[in-house]
Amino acid sequence: MTIILKLLGSIALLIYGMKVMSEALQKMAGPQLRHLLGAMTTNRFSGVATGALVTVAVQSSAATTVMTVSFVNAALLTLSQAISVIMGANIGTTLSAWIMSAGFSFNIISVVWPAFFIGIVLIQMGKHRYIGDFLFGLSFLLFALGMLKQAGIEMDLASKPAVVAFFASFPTNYGTILLFLLIGTILTALVQSSAALMAITMVLCATGAITIYQGIALVMGENIGTTVTANLAAMSANTQARRTAMAHLLFNVFGVIWVLILFFPFVRMVCGIVGMDPDAGEQSPTQLSFALATFHSCFNVINTAVLIWFIPQIEKLVCALVKPRKSDEEEEFRLQYIRGGLMKTPELSVFQAQKEIVAFGLKMQWLFGLVGELYETKDEQAFDKLFERIKKGEDMSDRMEHEIGRYLGDVGDAHLSDDTKQKIRSMLRQISELESVGDSCFNLARILKRKMDNKIVFTEELEKGKQEMFALVDEALSRMNAMLSGRKEDYDISLSQEVELRINTCRNTLKQYNIVSMDNHVYGYDIGTVFSDLIGECEKTGDYVLNVAEARLGVIKIA
């Protein structure tokens, strides 16, 4: 029981070490990874290289594939670009297998203590804490590998007749290979870590519990099981993102099929590379672990070398298999960029959320445009339909604020850099002010409904004043959306403040004219109050728009 608990604890520590190490690397290279994905996927070969580099950088093929699915969902990558990146991710993930095999080749525990010490010193110093986090995670990973190796030696499964008899009952044939492939697929899908299953496979092989053939079958299953992560992330995403996840599954399934056809000759070839006879009785644990890592690398490299020429055909196949959902075509209002679930790369999730805020801003300008249409509508039935659309739009703005805010809250729960934390605070303020713009649009619609119900008609001067005010608010919205979608370094808050000043001046001028006109009985009190409310609400909308711009540029408002 003690050995089993040590084994389970070592696996948990291994997964935790991989997670800490991966997150630290993402913090150091997060923004650069996004630019790398966009800049280096111009053709299929550079796409494969990019996927491999990014996966090596973050030490997680799951993170790369989920990131890729999210970028396709955000229309930052095409489907063919994404397929090449995922092929590269499969090559990049083989580094993890080599790290595992190194851990089984010598007593790794003796070298982790200095790494632990250096890591904690760097974390406490603060300046290089991400490097410290990386060393800490790597130390945990290597320590867990050493403990796994030790637990495997203590288990000594090869000397236990019952265990030997159980695994010996599985003859070395295709039936056994398919069974172990299925077990590897299911376990990896449940654990959500192919690295952990690779370590367990190495322990089982090194202790003589299973043969190299059975171990390689488990590794093949791990390659299929690891695709579950991306497919789960894509379940609620758009059609292209779901197709990307399906391409990942097809890529690995195709590789497993051709390896199964050539299984025994291929395994003998791989074992020959490391100087090992797969049919020999007792094997060196070091050779067994290197054989598994070599198979993993050969499998993914050869699979990519074959399928890279068929990316257009793979694209056509996944397009035929994954049809657009009706909701994708019919939904007028939906979150476009963060429906794929929270990515496992928190630093990059912030960029995904910013894309959604850009869409939020455009929808609020569209909603204000509907208010302008409502003003011009004279038919009561058409007016009521348009009023309901604006009401629905305001409800949707509430939902968007809630869903984006919840998403940012989930991202904020991760360990983030100070710069990213500041970005999240800014984005939370942006969505709050954008929701207020939606509220103002509905308030304007309610004022216009009051105007329609009471059969109020504005004078020519009031019409001109309304048109001037609406034009100014629309100009402010256009400038706000340019800031949201562009690089904030390219914009200055002074222009937005100048538009807001013109809105305030227009409001004051029109209110003064309105008071004088009512005093002189140019028109009645009912017309004057509706016009005053309309202009006042427009000025509030302008305030909210300026607040969004200030939040985007990081301007702190002084009370």
For residue 258, pLDDT over 70 is answered with: yes
**Domain final residue, candidates 321, 354, 375:** 321
526, 454 contact by CB (below 8 A): yes
Higher pLDDT pick, 187 / 266: 266
For residue 323, what pLDDT band results from cuts at 50, 70 and 90?
confident
* pTM (predicted TM-score): 0.55
Higher pLDDT pick, 15 / 486: 486
For residue 164, pLDDT over 70 is answered with: no
CB atoms within 10 A of CB 108: 19
The pLDDT tens digits of the residues spanning 177-194 come to: 899 899 888 887 776 667
For residue 160, what pLDDT band results from cuts at 50, 70 and 90?
low
For residue 402, what pLDDT band results from cuts at 50, 70 and 90?
confident
Residues 371 and 307 in one domain: no
Residue 379 burial by CB count (10 A; 0-12/13-18/19+): exposed, middle or buried?
exposed
Domain-embedded: residue 427: yes
For the chain, report the end-to-end CA distance as a whole number of angstroms. 65
Q: How far apart are CA 466 and CA 463, in angstroms?
A: 5
Q: How far apart are CA 89 and CA 300, in angstroms?
A: 9
Higher pLDDT pick, 352 / 334: 352
Q: How far apart are CA 71 and CA 357, in angstroms?
A: 16
For residue 424, pLDDT over 80 is answered with: yes
Please give the average per-residue pLDDT across 388-413, as a whole number.
85
DSSP 339: T
140, 13 contact by CB (below 8 A): yes
Q: How far apart are CA 27 and CA 476, in angstroms?
A: 35
68, 89 contact by CB (below 8 A): yes
The pLDDT tens digits of the residues spanning 485-521 come to: 888 788 888 888 999 999 999 999 999 999 999 999 8
Residues 394 and 435 in one domain: yes
Domain-embedded: residue 332: no
**Domain final residue, candidates 321, 356, 373:** 321
Residues 265 and 204 in one domain: yes
Q: Residue 372 is part of a domain; what is its CATH number?
A: 1.20.58.220
Domain-embedded: residue 487: yes
CB atoms within 10 A of CB 367: 25
Contacts of 225 (CB under 8 A, 6+ apart): 184, 185, 186, 187, 188, 189, 194, 197
Q: How far apart are CA 522 and CA 461, in angstroms?
A: 11
Residues 53 and 154 in one domain: yes
Please give the average per-residue pLDDT across 534-545, as a whole number.
94
Please give the average per-residue pLDDT across 456-475, as a whole number.
93
Residues 367 and 309 in one domain: no
Mean pLDDT taken over the chain: 80
Domain-embedded: residue 204: yes
State how many domains the chain has.
Answer: 2
For residue 330, what pLDDT band results from cuts at 50, 70 and 90?
very low
Domain-embedded: residue 548: yes
Higher pLDDT pick, 19 / 470: 470
Please give the average per-residue pLDDT across 105-113, as a whole number.
66
Res 558: pLDDT: 46
Structural domain containing residue 36? 2-160+167-321
Residues 493 and 541 in one domain: yes
Residues 396 and 488 in one domain: yes
Res 333: pLDDT: 45
The pLDDT tens digits of the residues spanning 26-72 come to: 666 555 555 555 555 567 788 888 778 777 766 566 667 766 766 67
Residues 221 and 272 in one domain: yes
Structure token pair of residue 440: 């103002």
Residues 133 and 237 in one domain: yes
Interhelix angle 129-155/194-206, nearest 10 degrees? 30
Please give the average per-residue pLDDT across 297-310, as a whole number.
90
The pLDDT tens digits of the residues spanning 345-371 come to: 566 677 778 888 998 999 999 999 999
Res 230: pLDDT: 67
Q: Alpha helices of 156-284 — where are they, by DSSP H?
A: 161-168, 174-191, 194-206, 212-225, 228-233, 239-261, 263-273
Residues 472 and 418 in one domain: yes
Domain-embedded: residue 121: yes
Q: Which of 37, 68, 47, 83 is nearest to 310 (CA)?
A: 83
Residues 314 and 406 in one domain: no
φ/ψ of 173, rounded to 5, equals -145, 180
* Residue % of the chain over a pLDDT of 90: 24
Domain-embedded: residue 341: no
Res 508: pLDDT: 94
Domain-embedded: residue 340: no
**Domain final residue, candidates 305, 321, 337:** 321
Residues 287 and 357 in one domain: no
